[in-house]
A and B are shown apart, each in its own frame.
Chain A
Amino acid sequence: MFRNLSITLQIVMLVALYIFLYMPILYIVYVSMQTTAIWPFPPDFTGEHYVNLWHATDYHTGFRNSLIIGIGTGMISSVIATMAVIGILKYRVKGSKLIAGLFLSPLFIAHILIGISSLMFNKTLLGLPGNLFSAIIANATYATAFAFLVLLAQLARYDWRLDEAAMVFGATPRRTFREITLPLVWPAIFGAFIVSFLLAFNNLEISFYNLGATPTLPTLAWGSLRHGISQELYALAALINAAVFSFLGLLYILIRSGVIRMDFKD
């Protein structure tokens, strides 16, 4: 009975958390379909913001730039972090704790400090202008730490002796990675990529200071604040969420049907 009670409580908390997290987003979706953003009650549905969005090229550019930052950061961070975690967990050498500390250190540094320090470093000392590239680099420092954390926790359970077994049976190190390591750890790498992407895609505080004049979604939102956020941005956010939920739905179906496996039992 106690067991059921505690599980029920957990489920209630989970559902409550989802409601809490998605309440503002549902509101955004709702507002995106209303004629006015200020107190849009009673509802007056319209699709005009979506039509406007279709023609608003600056939002397209912003979205594309955000996507570039997200994907670029995701790739840099997940590759760097995967390599480092494998190095640290597989080859236990002295000093690996210190390196692990370095990789985790960005977690302890506020976004705004990362953003500002790289801005000042690039601008004042190197004389480099802000652009997409510098924004990706700055985001990647922070996202790498997250990716590292995700991978470290998941790969800590990986049994490296499996790789040794493969080598004894004739697999070269490269072959071992492709045949054994990668198939077993890809969900963790995928997770690290997703987390880095999520952090960078709509990041404001790091990107803001390093973008120069390049528009992204958060800087567009920032810019439109003066006259109230334009409803085209709400429409765009609604579309992004629709895409995300389609993706999660697809993932659900793929896992459900056994096409991909997220978890191998020992």
Chain B
Amino acid sequence: MSDTVLTLEHVSKNFGAITAADDINIEVGQTEFFALLGPSGSGKTTMLRMIAGLETPDTGRIVIGGTDVTRLPPYKRGIGMVFQDFLLFPHKTVAENITFPLKMQRSSDTEKAEHLQWVVNLVHLEGLEDRYPHQLSGGQKQRVALARGLVSRPSLLLLDEPLANLDRELRKEMEVEIRRFQLELGIPFVYVTHNQEEALTMSDRMAIMRDGKMEQVGEKFSLYHNPTSQFVASFLGSPNVFSGRVSAVDGEIATLDWHGHAIQARAHGGLKPGDAATCYVKSEKIAIETDAGEMSGEIRDVIFKGQYADFLVLLDNGEEVTVSSSHRGQLVKGAKTHIIWKPENADGFPAGE
């Protein structure tokens, strides 16, 4: 990648028996919003802490802006960070909190004032400069944390689940704003979250982590639509899971025997006829029709969500499948339906991984 700002090469880190990072390789470009997504305990925070210098990797190299910083202490790395619990300094006012990085760089008072003015306008904290953190709401604290991360115009901003402590409304709003800041500033953001909606909304590229391993890295669309790892296929979206035995493989497409139905999916991991397989199909990639068809059943329940609805379909073979689709009048509880999906919208992997 051209104009790479951050590179991690073969970075590993163990805490006793726990592997928090296992041979991680990442590159983040100049104007990129990069999301690190994974369940709790998968090693996301450890990764950020290593980039920030709060943790030293056991092996591997970290390069920021062309400089190898692997052994550099945090205060010499010149990056910004937004912490999960904000970690505002309770004895400093909003203005003092925000200008703290500038104070450490021994910036002049006029420079401090200018930067403060700029960042306060950017994150809409006007009029709160003299308050103490305990006098702020959650959303305001979050903005202060963000402002403190941005104020020195760092070459790289790290964000560790910055929205985890906010309510849903506020989170939605902040997602959009954080993305806006990143575009305006043109610096790379490395954004850690366990919330896939956040990652999918904001990022350009993302990496999915599990147990210290990088499962898949790439453009968010490609990860969502073309998972190459079973974990990614099962983690992103809200997929239905079908387990069965492979009856045939024809090029890229495998056919599974699933409770008396032949279902089709893209074959991954060298599936062969006779293998036990697990197949994932995202609920919005299944079509639901009211006429008769091969996989038929009836609607057991409808969970209406406004823009769309989740239909719980009880198939004739006794299995239940969830389908997300726009709400239609004839799709009511008890209605006879059939479901169908294109083979390229399903992903099959060897079972038991």
Instruction: Please classify how large the interface on chain B is, using the bins under 10, 10 to 19, 20 to 34, 35 or more.
Output: 20 to 34
Select the residue from A162, A170, A261 with max chain B CB neighbours within 10 A.
Answer: A170
What per-residue 1/0 map shows which CB atoms of A239-266 lie under 8 Å from chain B? Answer: 0000000000000000000000100111
Count: A-B pairs, CB below 8 Å = 63
A170 and B87 contacting across the interface, CB-CB below 8 Å? no
B90 and A165 contacting across the interface, CB-CB below 8 Å? no
Q: Which chain B residues border A183 with CB–CB below 8 Å? A: 91
What per-residue 1/0 map shows which CB atoms of B209-235 lie under 8 Å from chain A? Answer: 000000000000000000000000000
Tell me, rounded to whole Å, the shortest Cβ–Cβ distance linking B46 to chain A. 13
Tell me, rounded to whole Å, the shortest Cβ–Cβ distance linking B192 to chain A. 14
B90 and A169 contacting across the interface, CB-CB below 8 Å? no
- Answer yes or no: B18 CB below 8 A from chain A CBs: no
How far is it, in angstroms, between the C-alpha of A226 and the C-alpha of B89 when the chains are bound?
59
Closest to A170 in B: B104
Select the residue from A167, A168, A172, A183 with max chain B CB neighbours within 10 A.
Answer: A168
Interface positions, chain A 119-165, Cβ under 8 Å from B, are 159, 161-162, 164-165
- Answer yes or no: A166 CB below 8 A from chain B CBs: yes
Tell me, rounded to whole Å, the shortest Cβ–Cβ distance linking B71 to chain A. 15
Closest to A162 in B: B87
B134 and A167 contacting across the interface, CB-CB below 8 Å? no
Interface positions, chain A 159-203, Cβ under 8 Å from B, are 159, 161-162, 164-172, 175, 179-180, 183-184
Given the known inter-chain contacts A164-B54, A165-B83, A167-B54, please indicate yes or no for A266 contacting B90, CB distance below 8 A.
yes
Q: Which chain A residues border B242 with CB–CB below 8 Å? A: none
Tell me, rounded to whole Å, the shortest Cβ–Cβ distance linking B67 to chain A. 16
B90 and A168 contacting across the interface, CB-CB below 8 Å? no
Given the known inter-chain contacts A165-B81, A184-B90, please indicate yes or no for A170 contacting B73, CB distance below 8 A.
no
How far is it, in angstroms, between the C-alpha of A167 and the C-alpha of B81 when the chains are bound?
11
B75 and A265 contacting across the interface, CB-CB below 8 Å? no
B104 and A169 contacting across the interface, CB-CB below 8 Å? yes
Given the known inter-chain contacts A165-B83, A169-B101, A170-B104, please indicate yes or no for A184 contacting B75, CB distance below 8 A.
no
- Answer yes or no: B53 CB below 8 A from chain A CBs: yes
Q: Which chain A residues border B148 with CB–CB below 8 Å? A: 169
Closest to A169 in B: B101
Classify the interface of chain A: helix, strand, loop or mixed.
helix
Q: Which chain B residues border A184 with CB–CB below 8 Å? A: 90-91
Partner pick for B74 among A167, A261, A265, CB 8 A cutoff:
A167
Tell me, rounded to whole Å, the shortest Cβ–Cβ distance linking B153 to chain A. 13
Tell me, rounded to whole Å, the shortest Cβ–Cβ distance linking B111 to chain A. 14
Q: Which chain A residues border B83 with CB–CB below 8 Å? A: 161, 165
B73 and A167 contacting across the interface, CB-CB below 8 Å? yes
Closest to A165 in B: B87
Given the known inter-chain contacts A162-B87, A162-B89, A265-B134, please indicate yes or no for A168 contacting B79, CB distance below 8 A.
yes
- Answer yes or no: B237 CB below 8 A from chain A CBs: no
B52 and A168 contacting across the interface, CB-CB below 8 Å? yes
Q: Which chain A residues border B81 with CB–CB below 8 Å? A: 165, 168-169
* 24 A-B interface contacts by CB (under 8 A): A161-B85, A161-B87, A162-B89, A164-B87, A165-B87, A166-B100, A166-B104, A168-B53, A168-B54, A168-B77, A168-B81, A169-B75, A169-B80, A169-B104, A169-B148, A170-B78, A170-B105, A171-B75, A171-B100, A172-B75, A179-B100, A183-B91, A184-B91, A265-B90
On A, residues with C-beta under 8 Å from B are 159, 161-162, 164-172, 175, 179-180, 183-184, 261, 264-266
* Those 5 A-B pairs whose CB atoms lie nearest each other, nearest first: A170-B104, A265-B134, A169-B101, A264-B90, A167-B74
